[in-house]
């Protein structure tokens, strides 16, 4: 595999929450076929492989994770062909939004403020009330679990709420079809969403976004707030006073604090409403 292979790399500094111990191996392949080689190499020697995007939806255990973590920051090309944009999995969503805004292609501004990489946004089918990542998707280039490169149309997937339905495949590249629009109008929509987000969510603090999925017909944040959990704290992790479905790290928090707070919030919501909150966030190494 061409690219960097490093041993025992601390994941905490790469995570949005700034929590987590080391990975045994950290792999940064150069190109798509290097990812395929890495998948095959790990499979052949029985080393578990995880893919890290922007680290904005993962809590890594304090003891870290065994096996290898793959980072796709080198897959960073953005290519335009008419109304279509093909983008590498390692491009940040904010850079993609900036690029589409500048060339007057509309649609992705629905995803304003999500601190993901494109691969992570597709894997999680990230979205807002205005729309989801899969809405504008045409096709994906993937490395499957056998290390084969495949290009599949969007119709081959059954994305649901916060799950792109990729199973064990790794997103290498995504092609989106967008609509031409006035860059000023796109910018206006982008700014409105950003203002709304800044006013209602603790965006400048360390978090993983929404901790729990919204139960059918309700909002997890509302249930947590009514259960009296706002500003509840364990160690360095606190239920945000601004948005109760966000847990924020004051810089001293651990993964154990995060898990403890999650369990306490779930217990209080269950006792008061009989609703079992399901985590939206992913856990590595627990
Ligand atoms: C402040 C804040 C606001 C947020 N707001 C929103 C929001 O409005 N809407 C929303 O949906 N989410 C939101 N999130 C959550 C998060 O940004 C999304 O879940 C996002 O899709 C995660 O992308 P990531 O690149 O950070 O992925 P990571 O957190 O690194 O990974 C998430 C999962 O995707 C997998 N993955 C990552 N890259 C790939 C790849 N290339 N191929 C296959 N699997 C991959 C990982 O293995 C992991 O299982 C927010 C988070 C924060 C911190």
CATH number at residue 42: 3.30.43.10
Instruction: Report d(CA 132, CA 239) in Å as an integer.
Output: 26
Q: Which CATH number characterizes residue 101's domain?
A: 3.30.465.10
85 and 196 in a single domain? The answer is yes
114 and 89 in a single domain? The answer is yes
Q: Write the pLDDT tens digit of every residue in 171-223.
A: 999 999 999 999 999 999 999 999 999 999 999 999 999 999 999 999 999 99
66 and 98 in a single domain? The answer is no
164 lines ligand 1 (CB under 6 A): no
Task: Confirm whether 187 is domain-assigned.
Answer: yes
Task: Confirm whether 211 is domain-assigned.
Answer: no
172 CA: nearest ligand 1 atom = 41
Range of the domain at 133: 78-200
Instruction: Report d(CA 230, CA 75) in Å as an integer.
Output: 40
Place of tokens 């919501």: 269
- H helix runs in the chain, sequence order: 32-44, 93-102, 118-123, 183-200, 220-226, 255-273
Overall size of the chain counted in residues: 286
106 and 170 in a single domain? The answer is yes
Quote the ligand 1 centre to 126 CA distance (angstroms).
7
Q: Write the pLDDT tens digit of every residue in 13-60.
A: 999 999 999 999 999 999 999 999 999 999 999 999 999 999 999 999
82 and 54 in a single domain? The answer is no
Q: Write the pLDDT tens digit of every residue in 214-253.
A: 999 999 999 999 999 999 999 999 999 999 999 999 999 9
**Pick from 228, 180, 219: which is nearest to 82 by CA?**
180
**Pick from 74, 69, 107: which is nearest to 91 by CA?**
74
Q: Which CATH number characterizes residue 277's domain?
A: 3.90.78.10
66 and 95 in a single domain? The answer is no
Quote the ligand 1 centre to 59 CA distance (angstroms).
11
159 lines ligand 1 (CB under 6 A): no
**Pick from 3, 114, 123: which is nearest to 52 by CA?**
123
Number of structural domains found in the chain? 3
């Amino acid at each position: 595999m061409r690219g960097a292979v490093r041993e025992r790399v601390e994941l905490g500094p790469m995570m949005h929450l700034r929590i987590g111990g080391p990975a045994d191996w950290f792999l940064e392949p150069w190109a798509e076929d290097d990812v395929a080689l890495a998948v095959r190499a790990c499979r052949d020697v029985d080393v578990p492989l995880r893919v890290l995007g922007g680290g904005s939806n993962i809590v890594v255990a304090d003891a870290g994770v065994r096996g290898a973590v793959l980072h796709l920051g080198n897959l960073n090309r953005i290519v335009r062909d008419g109304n279509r944009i093909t983008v590498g999995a390692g491009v940040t969503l904010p850079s993609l939004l900036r690029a589409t805004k500048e060339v007057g292609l509309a649609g992705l501004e629905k995803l304003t403020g999500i601190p993901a990489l494109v691969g992570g946004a597709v894997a999680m089918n990230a979205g807002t009330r205005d729309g989801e990542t899969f809405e504008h998707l045409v096709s994906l280039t993937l490395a499957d679990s056998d290390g084969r490169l495949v290009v599949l149309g969007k119709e081959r997937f059954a994305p649901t709420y916060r799950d792109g339905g990729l199973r064990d495949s790794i997103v290498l590249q995504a092609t989106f079809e967008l609509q031409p629009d006035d860059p000023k109008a796109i910018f206006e929509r982008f700014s409105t969403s950003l203002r709304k987000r800044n006013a209602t969510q603790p965006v400048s603090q360390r978090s993983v976004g929404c901790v729990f999925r919204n139960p059918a017909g309700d909002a997890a944040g509302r249930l947590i707030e009514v259960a009296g959990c706002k500003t509840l704290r364990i160690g360095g992790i606190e239920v945000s006073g601004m948005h109760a479905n966000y847990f924020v790290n004051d810089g001293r928090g651990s993964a154990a604090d995060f898990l403890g707070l999650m369990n306490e919030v779930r217990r209080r919501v269950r006792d008061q409403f009989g609703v079992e909150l399901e985590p939206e966030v992913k856990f590595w190494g627990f």
